[in-house]
Amino acid sequence: MTGFALGVDQEEWCGQLRALAVRRLRPLAEKGEPGRVNRPLLAALGELGLLERVFASGALDLCLLRESLAYGCTEAETALALQGLGAYPVLRAGSEEQRERWLPRVRAGRAVAAFALSEPGAGSDAAALALAATADPAGRGGGGWRLSGEKCWISNAPEADFYTVFARTGEGPGAKGVSAFLVPADRPGLSGAPLDMLSPHPIGSLAFDGVPVGPRDLLGEPGRGFRVAMDTLNLFRPSVGAFAVGMARAALDATLAYTADRKAFGGTLSDLQAVAHRVAEMATRTEAARLLVYAAAGAYDRGAGDVPRRAAMAKLLATETAQYVVDHAVQLHGAVALQRGHLLEHLYREVRAPRIYEGASEVQRTIIAKELYGAAVAER
């Protein structure tokens, strides 16, 4: 890939993924129940080797994978991404025992992972976590903890097989006192409930009533869990942008086809300057978002020092752009796009949540500004 275009092999791979999503994955998605984990779909993602790519690829490949699947089947894209989000902390910070137990099953689509960071009072302000990890000297493996509190808006909850849980162990104030744990779903004291949300993928709450965890459940070192969370989000934020770009491209292509054929006012809708200019704006914004996502992914793969800023910019622009493009696509289609089951009706419901999860747009702007001012001060 150059700074402006994908290579031929990458373009061919993306085209194959888009076709695969429509032919093989969308039928499985359509058989699923909204708000529930679709295990047959996950198994297909595993059989096709796509879940393996999440863990074996760099950030750019992850973005191309998510963008291409989102174009053809948003449910497949989301199922794949949630596996990566929940299990990446295990890959990055887990022990050999944890990785050997869980990652092969995640890659095969046989174990469902979840990333449990948000709480009722700690959504955008992730460092304000209140889930308490109280020392339990007689606990699991000796020197363990008991988890007490709540998690909320957790994707794949309460149906996941294990959770990457971030709790306050108190080694220091704020983010310095947060640890990460791998908590199997069958651990005593752990319960959950589904939430009825706008997004069609499963989201729920979790209740921790003295859930026992021990040193063998830690992901990384005590008090270093916030870094595990941020490392995960820095990788996945640009790919959230890629998910958004995939939706925007699908909406744009549908709009091009519709307005070129739809008869109105003695010609087609595309003959109207107001329509043609709006489509041009949709296309330009989508292309700008796509390039920014690729640039952020490339920076991550190079190990650049400005990844947090680039990742935040990519997620911000791409998710806001996708909202704009899908909304205008619905407007240009008219009432037909509001019918249940129409592609744009589906995308309209899907496109709203990414502007909130994994850091709302306002949080991304805060990160960008902090990084910019920090760099400016350092240069003085």
Choose, from 77, 350, 358, 371, the residue flagged as catalytic. 358
- Element housing 204 (H / E): strand 203-213
Backbone angles phi, psi at 111, to 5 degrees: -125, 135
Instruction: Tell me whether residue 86 is in a domain.
Output: yes
Lowest-confidence pick of 10-14, 70-74, 169-173, 337-341: 169-173
Say if residue 319's pLDDT is above 80.
Answer: yes
CATH value at residue 273: 1.20.140.10
Cβ pair 42, 112 in contact under 8 A = yes
Tell me whether residue 133 is in a domain.
Answer: yes
Pairing relationship of beta strands 144-155 and 203-213 according to DSSP bridges: antiparallel
In a domain, 117, yes or no: yes
pLDDT (tens digit per residue) in 339-360:
999 999 999 999 999 999 888 9
Please give the mean pLDDT across all residues of the chain: 94
Residues of the chain with pLDDT > 70, as a percent, come to 98
Give residue 41's pLDDT: 98
How many CB atoms are closer than 10 A to CB 36? 12
Tell me what pLDDT residue 142 has: 67
Burial group, residue 129, by CB count within 10 angstroms (0-12, 13-18, 19+):
buried
Given this model, what pLDDT does residue 137 score? 79
pLDDT value, residue 373: 95
Q: The domain containing residue 188 runs over which residues? A: 113-223
Q: Note the pTM of the prediction, 2 decimals.
A: 0.93
Do both 350 and 362 map to the same domain? yes
Q: What pLDDT is attached to residue 176?
A: 86
**Same domain for 312 and 265?**
yes
Mean pLDDT, rounded, for 33-44: 96
User: Domain containing 19 — which CATH number?
Assistant: 1.10.540.10
Q: 312: buried, middle or exposed (CB in 10 Å: 19+, 13-18, 0-12)?
A: buried
pLDDT of residue 139: 67
Instruction: Report residue 239 CA to chain centroid gap.
Output: 7
Q: What is the pLDDT of residue 4?
A: 66
Indicate the residue among 107, 142, 175 that finishes a domain: 107
Pairing of strands 162-168, 113-116: parallel
Rg of the chain in Å (alpha carbons): 21
Q: Do both 140 and 277 map to the same domain?
A: no
Q: Are residues 203 and 153 in the same domain?
A: yes
**Does 160 lie in the same domain as 26?**
no
Specify if 256 maps to a domain: yes
Instruction: Please report which confidence band the pLDDT of residue 175 belongs to, taking 50, 70 and 90 as the band edges.
Output: confident
CATH number at residue 129: 2.40.110.10
Quote the DSSP letter at residue 305.
Answer: T
The answer to whether position 2 is within a domain reads: no
Decide if pLDDT at 141 tops 70: no
Same domain (yes/no): 157, 276:
no
Residue 181 inside a domain? The answer is yes
Residue 1 lies in a domain: no
What tens digit of pLDDT does each residue of 47-85 get?
Answer: 999 999 999 889 999 999 999 999 999 999 999 999 999
Query: Number of folded domains in the chain?
Result: 3
Query: 374 and 312 in one domain?
Result: yes
Q: Does residue 55 or residue 172 have the better pLDDT?
A: 55
Listed in sequence order, the residues at least 6 apart from 2 whose beta carbon sits closer than 8 Å to its beta carbon are: none
- Among the candidates 223, 248, 283, a domain finishes at 223
Mean pLDDT over residues 262-273, rounded?
94
Same domain, yes or no: 255 and 334: yes
Ramachandran assignment for 60, one of left (phi > 0), alpha (psi -120 to 50 degrees), beta (any other): alpha
Pair 118, 163 in one domain: yes
Q: Distance between CA 159 and CA 203 in Å, rounded? A: 9
Are residues 106 and 97 in contact, defined by beta-carbon separation less than 8 angstroms?
A: no
On the CB side of 20, CA atoms within 13 Å amount to 20
The whole-angstrom separation of Cα 329 and Cα 314 is: 22
Same domain for 158 and 281? no
Q: Are 264 and 365 found together in one domain? A: yes
How much is the pLDDT for 1?
A: 55
pLDDT surpasses 90 at 170: no
Tell me the percentage of the chain whose pLDDT exceeds 90: 85
Candidate from 15-19, 89-93, 180-184, 263-267 with smallest mean pLDDT: 263-267
Does 56 fall in a domain? yes
Q: Kindly give, in sequence order, each residue whose CB lies less than 8 Å from that of residue 77, ignoring residues fewer than 6 positions away.
A: 21, 66, 69, 70, 243, 246
For 220-258, how does the pLDDT look when each residue is reduced to its tens digit (9 = 90+)? 999 999 999 999 988 898 999 999 999 999 999 999 999
pLDDT for 280 equals 98
3-state secondary structure 3-66: CCCCCHHHHHHHHHHHHHHHHHHHHHHHHCCCCCCCHHHHHHHHHCCHHHHHHHCCHHHHHHHH
Query: What does the pLDDT look like over 272-302, one tens digit per residue?
Result: 999 999 999 999 999 999 999 999 999 999 9
- Both 359 and 315 in one domain: the answer is yes
pLDDT tens per residue, range 213-224: 999 999 999 999
Question: For residue 2, is pLDDT > 60?
Answer: no
Out of 223, 255, 271, a domain closes at 223
- Known catalytic residue: 221? no
- DSSP class of residue 113? E
pLDDT for 140 equals: 67
pLDDT of residue 57: 81
